[in-house]
Chains A and B, each alone.
Chain A
Amino acid sequence: MKKRSVFERIAAAPHLLWSAIFIVAPLLFVIYFAFTDREGSFTFENILSLSSYSHTFVMSLGFSLIATTVCFLIGYPLAYCMARMSEKTRNVLLVLLMLPMWISLLIRTYSLMALLDNGGIVSTFLTRLGFQKLTFIGTDAAVILGMIYDFLPYMVLPIYTTMTKLDRRYLEAAADLGCNNRQTLFRVIFPLSMPGVISGITMVFVPSISTFYISQKLGGGSFDLIGDTIERQFKNAVTYHTGAAISLVMMILILISLAIMNKFSDSEEDIIV
């Protein structure tokens, strides 16, 4: 039996080593860069200089908040409708839902741009119908629409999964106890599908607050989100220290948001119990 535990320790080693070097160490590097200047001496300057980016932070937060909410408002009914279909239809719909998730984000964003561009198909069609020419690319709405379009499947999938796994007996019990469809939905199904909702919200909120490709393409570079700012610090200007500071703050911001949300969901679950 002793040999066995030696074997276990050896098995644990590669993962621990790998995580230490390639997961923990990089984060330490981010912290190190965030608190040093070019000469390598300790400074708070990078963090303090972020006040000039407060607008960017607020804007990113606002955009991703709206995108997440709209994704939820569209995605929840979709998941609900899908879950109520027959099994065969459901499987087909599931493949259809997963297909866009597997197509590169770049391609999907780009194809959305091709469709909505000012000389693109939709606008040509609208002008032919006699509408006034409308500019869409380069507006804030375009960025938000891009986020919604790109991340909607990530919202639907977890909600749909929890709904299909839902114990049918709860629904029958609710019906027996005199709930109508609407009451069942709001009082039974919704609280029970909360874990799916939470993971859906996370899966939409995190990528949309940190995106840079969407705002570059659909926002035309006029709407600088946190992701754009970080990307610029690392790829265009060699200001790694500022970039590291922004990354650090964003990471903390996301952790706080997730913590708040988890707390919120806990209280939600208490109600049903």
Chain B
Amino acid sequence: MKRFGFWYAVLTLLLTLLCVGIFSSCSSAGETQTLYVYNWGEYISDGSEDSLDVNRAFEEYYFQKYGKKVSVNYSTYSSNEDMYAKISSGAATYDVIVPSDYMIQRMVAEDMLAPLDLSKIPNYADIDDAFKGENVYYEDDTDNVYSVPYFYGMVGVIYNASIVAEDDAQIGSWELLWDTDYTGDILQFNNSRDAFGTALYYLGYDVNEATEAEWREALELLKRQKDVVQGYVMDEIFNKMKSGSAAVAAYYAGDFLSMYEDNEDLSFFYPKEGTNFYMDAMCIPNSSKNYDLALEYINFMCQEDVGVANAIYTYYASPLTTVRNSTEYQEAMMETHEGAMEILYGVDDEIPRQAYLNLSPERLTLLNDLWEELKVESSIGVGIKVACAVILGSLVVLVVANVIKKRRWAKLYD
């Protein structure tokens, strides 16, 4: 009987654990408000390596200002399309999201974003005029403002100078991403818009108005590239470029600086054929349940100290004038890379730049189909095919041999 007592003790213990678990999860949800923030990966100062933990700082700031507890639930995505899929499927609701320009345009058109009450965001005044009012090329509704700029930048080519020959890099062209000398060392974007973007810029086509034939030409180019690329990646690029496991990649200028901090062999250029200009901005989805709290959060993100912390952490170009003029920020940038401010803010006017705009539904379907076509395409080594054939062949031989053997035995028993 003693033994049963022990098992019951174990069971009761587990059951109490269960109850405590449910209870604690319920009670914690009741008291504090939760703000759901959905942002790009590595796009906020998160407290690692002695930086400011912005989300925790907001929780403290809010508690001190209003005496109410709030907890920030922060999660990340790695492409606009992922984020869009999540929001539109209704699988989850968020309060603050940070889409890029063309995605904002699409979401405004599809009535997925809530107009912002700018009187609740006093820090909006600090945003550079170049990104306000008329200059907001991605919002078609002139009566309302749906987004507050977060970071902006341009796409360029990052390469490892210890692997890539100086002559090849000097050309300053997208060509480097197709260079067969660096087979297996090249990384391409793992999202349809940016990957096709590199091909379209290379070909010199308009990324927004390209005809179907031009899109198909881009697809052919990307298919050709499939043999030389090591992989299709997004933020994994950091580790790969830093460790030198890949040598050439197209990525955002700010990320180059962040990689350069760990690997000084890296170098960067804006391709001469033209490249992508983008703006990522904070928005509130229509489905948000914490509109006012979200506004408070957006305003907090535009504070000078928070902006500086984020800009130093992410290395992207900040649209906040207060940040750009901060000496703390400028010193931190110069310390990382002498030309940092030049790369981020003083871009050579000779390089054509074009932002992505929302594509028509037909173009979007085409882009999706082409992307699927590219993904499905893969060249398998001869060795693999031979191995497959050998295995299949020997399987057939085994089965046949077994059947024959069985028959023979059967005959013997007869």
Contact = CB atoms under 8 A, between A and B. Distances in A.
A155 to B, nearest CB: 15
A220 B231 contact: yes
B85 A222 contact: no
Chain B interface mostly: helix
A220 B230 contact: yes
Interface string A187-210: 000000000000000000000000
B244 A144 contact: no
A270 B231 CA distance: 48
Contacts of B157: none
Given A118-B185, A238-B89, A221 B384 contact: no
Contacts of B89: 238
B79 A69 contact: no
A138 interface: yes
Given A120-B245, A268-B402, A236 B79 contact: yes
Contact of A238 (B85, B184, B246, B373): B85
B388 A62 contact: yes
Interface stretch (A33-41, A52-60, A80-88, A97-105): A52-60
A66 interface: yes
B325 to A, nearest CB: 39
A264 B399 contact: yes
B10 interface: no
B381 interface: yes
Contacts of A123: 245
A222 B226 CA distance: 7
Given A66-B388, A117-B243, A271 B232 contact: no
Contact of A271 (B88, B243, B377, B409): B409
Given A66-B388, A117-B243, A119-B244, A271 B229 contact: no
Contact of A118 (B245, B372, B375): B245
Given A66-B388, A135-B183, A223 B232 contact: no
Contacts of A219: 231
A267 B190 CA distance: 47
A232 B375 contact: yes
A118 B387 contact: no
Interface string B214-228: 000000000000100
Interface in B376-402: 376-378, 380-381, 383-385, 387-388, 391-392, 399, 402
- Which of A117, A139, A221 is most buried by chain B, counting CB atoms within 10 A of its CB? A221
Nearest to B186: A138
A117 B237 CA distance: 13
Contacts of A236: 79, 81-82, 85
Interface residues of B, number: 43
A229 B376 CA distance: 8
B332 to A, nearest CB: 28
A223 B378 contact: yes
A267 B230 contact: no
Nearest to B229: A222
Contacts of A239: 368
Given A53-B376, A139-B381, A221 B243 contact: no
Contact of B402 (A66, A120, A221, A267): A267
Interface string B363-376: 00000100011011
A137 interface: yes
Interface string B228-243: 0111110000001001
B241 to A, nearest CB: 10
Interface string B62-85: 000000000000000001011001
Contacts of B183: 135
B376 A55 contact: yes
B406 interface: yes
A141 interface: yes
B20 interface: no
Nearest to A52: B376
Contact of B391 (A66, A141, A235): A66
A129 interface: no
B231 A140 contact: no
Contact of B230 (A52, A53, A137, A268): A137
Contacts of B384: 62-63, 66, 140-141, 144
Nearest to A69: B391
Contacts of B120: none
A135 B184 contact: yes
B57 interface: no
Contact of B380 (A118, A135, A138, A140): A140
B405 interface: yes
15 contacts: A52-B373, A53-B376, A59-B378, A59-B380, A65-B388, A117-B240, A118-B244, A120-B243, A135-B230, A139-B381, A140-B384, A221-B190, A236-B82, A264-B402, A267-B406
Q: Identify the 4 closest CB pairs spanning chains A and B, nearest first.
A: A220-B231, A135-B184, A221-B232, A118-B245
Given A66-B388, A119-B243, A236-B79, 14 more contacts: A52-B373, A55-B376, A59-B378, A62-B385, A118-B244, A135-B183, A138-B184, A139-B184, A140-B378, A141-B381, A222-B226, A238-B88, A267-B403, A271-B402
